[in-house]
Amino acid sequence: MFKKLLIANRGEIAMRVNRAAHELGISTVAIFSEADRASLHVRNADEAFCVGPGPVARSYLNIPNIISAALISGADAIHPGYGFLAENARFAEICADHGLAFVGPSPETIAKMGDKATAKAIMSEARVPTTPGTDILNSVMDALAGAKRLGYPVMLKATAGGGGKGMRAVRTPDELEHAFATAQAEAEANFKDGRLYMEKLIEKPRHVEVQIMGDAYGNVVHVGERDCSVQKPSHQKLVEEAPAPHLPDRVRRKLHDTAIAAARAVKYKSAGTLEFLLAGDDVYFMEMNTRIQVEHPVTEVLYGVDLVREQIRVAAGEKLSFDQKRLVPSGHAIECRINAEDSANNYAPAAGTLVDVAMPGGYGVRVDSHAYAGLAVPPFYDSLLAKIVTHGATRIEAIDRMIAALGDTRIAGVNTTIDICSAIMRDGRFREGGIAIDYLPAFVPPSAAALAT
């Protein structure tokens, strides 16, 4: 097992990893930016190094200073958390070059899965269903032929794309020529690469993902699925739950089997997630995340396993401590993300100082948070302040427990998503279950409507 682990992250996930490491008897090294000097993740670690100023490019992405901190402190491994360097194949490679174990999959796997086209090709080969699509389109004629084959509506996408740039939904052949030209120009302008391809547009899908875990000895298990369909207009998740409600057993099995096949295809040896779009009973592979995810506690609570601890053990060359038979879900789990955001203003991030913080607790309630009264929320980073997870014997019990937990939660000083989460938990449509990703953007909290009248 490792002796000392450097945690290349901040906030709640750095604290989460810190706890897992301490439980395993590993001492920890935190890194921080000047803006995070007073953060809990800095205090809770055994050692800490400032690696740069507030902006992430010069601190949490400052590879030379992070590696140097690891070497100076005598760390033998680096846990990247999520975000920042977690899916940076080059960083994983640099760790290896300096004799540091990277807690995650191999650099090759990260690189393959990071490239959407390669990932899709690998998945197709492993007979994992992917969104039907075309190769690179050479002309509008190509595009028209492709769209005819796939059937409208279709989505034009830039091969170098990201962040919605170079993407156009096309519903009729008439729209295609114009959409092709504008998407191409946008892709050219943003990525210096105007190449486009086309996919069938899956309308109003659900977002369901499968947690997998593998080790270096070829053992791969799935740890069930999570439904993350409550997404902000920016496609960021707000509420996650497991298991996915109203999923026919047949579809659930298909998802799990597919995820296992995919993980085996890339000899996956860490914690990872396969994201799927679900439309009716059809399942389409979207992408694979080669990191621990924000919403992993939902799965941990449901299955009673510690994924981060397992991730560290596996990275140290140990075997998975459970097999598929031992993984049995119990009841239902829900997570609400409490972000420093203004939900009434398109979730604009809010910075400020938390003047009052009270977190919920009690039976069936888990809180992962780095918030404390007096914490100045810097403007440079993700707005996540806390993850509240409730567990119940049934879905409704978990939801009602969440309502109570959110009622006990108090964060003053910045706007938060507490109220919107609470409104969602009370919403009839959500309580029914099985909502699609168009749910939240169209959701109007009843309290706001009542205020307006």
Which sequence positions are flagged as catalytic?
291
Residue 49 touching other proteins (CB under 8 A):
yes
Which residue of 14, 67, 183, 308 would you call a contact of other proteins, by CB under 8 A?
Answer: 67
- Does 37 help bind other proteins (rule: CB under 8 A)? yes
Residue placing its CB nearer to other proteins in the complex, 169 or 351: 351
**Contacts to other proteins from residues 80-139, by CB under 8 A:** 98
Q: Which of 7, 26, 35, 327 binds other proteins (CB under 8 A)?
A: 35
Looking at residues 346 to 405 of the shown chain, list those that interact with other proteins (rule: CB under 8 A).
348-353, 376, 378-379
From 383, 374, 387, select the one nearest 340 (Cα to Cα).
Answer: 383
Complex with other proteins: residue 66 or 242, whichever CB lies closer: 66
Q: Which residues pair with 133 in a beta bridge?
A: 199
* Residues 98/72, Cβ–Cβ less than 8 Å: no
Q: Is 412 in the site for other proteins (CB under 8 A)?
A: no
Q: In this chain, which stretch among 68-76, 78-86, 171-179, 387-395 interacts with other proteins, using CB under 8 A? A: 68-76
Candidate residues 14, 415, 424, 440; the one interacting with other proteins per rule CB under 8 A? 415
CA distance 91 to 308: 20
27 binds other proteins (CB under 8 A): no
End-to-end CA distance of the chain: 62
Q: CA distances (Å), 260 to each of 2, 44, 324, 414, 418, in order?
A: 28, 36, 11, 42, 36
In the numeric block, which tokens belong to residue 285? 């592979």
Q: Tell me the DSSP string of 397-425.
A: HHHHHHHHHHHH-EEESS--SHHHHHHHH
Identity of the residue, 51 or 123, whose beta carbon is nearer to other proteins in the bound complex: 51
b (16+ CB within 10 A) / e for 275-288: bbbbbeeebbbbbb
**Which residues of 340-397 form beta strands (DSSP E)?**
341-342, 348-349, 352-353, 356-358, 365-369, 376-377, 384-392
Q: Name which position in 139, 250, 428, 453 contacts other proteins (CB under 8 A).
A: 453
Q: Phi first, then psi: what are they for 183, rounded to 5°?
A: -65, -40
Q: Which of 47, 76, 188, 318 binds other proteins (CB under 8 A)?
A: 47
* Contact call for residue 72 and other proteins (CB under 8 A): yes
Q: Does 216 bind other proteins (CB under 8 A)?
A: no
Span near other proteins by CB under 8 A; candidates 14-22, 221-229, 344-352, 439-447: 344-352
Q: Given the rule CB under 8 A, which of 66-74, 165-173, 186-194, 269-277 is the region that contacts other proteins?
A: 66-74
Residue type, 70: A
Q: Which residue, 96 or 185, is less far from other proteins as judged by CB? A: 96
SS3 content of the chain, % helix, strand, coil (to 5): 40, 25, 35
Distance CA 108, CA 303 (A): 30
Please say whether the beta carbons of 105 and 272 come within 8 A.
yes
What's the min distance (Å) between Cβ of 32 and other proteins? 8
Nearer to other proteins, 27 or 324 (CB): 27
Stretch that binds other proteins, among 51-59, 200-208, 224-232, 387-395 (CB under 8 A): 51-59
Among left, alpha and beta (phi > 0; psi -120 to 50; other), residue 385 is alpha
The site for other proteins (CB under 8 A) is made up of: 30, 32, 34-35, 37, 42-43, 47-55, 58-59, 62, 64-69, 71-73, 98, 341-342, 345, 348-353, 376, 378-379, 414-415, 452-453
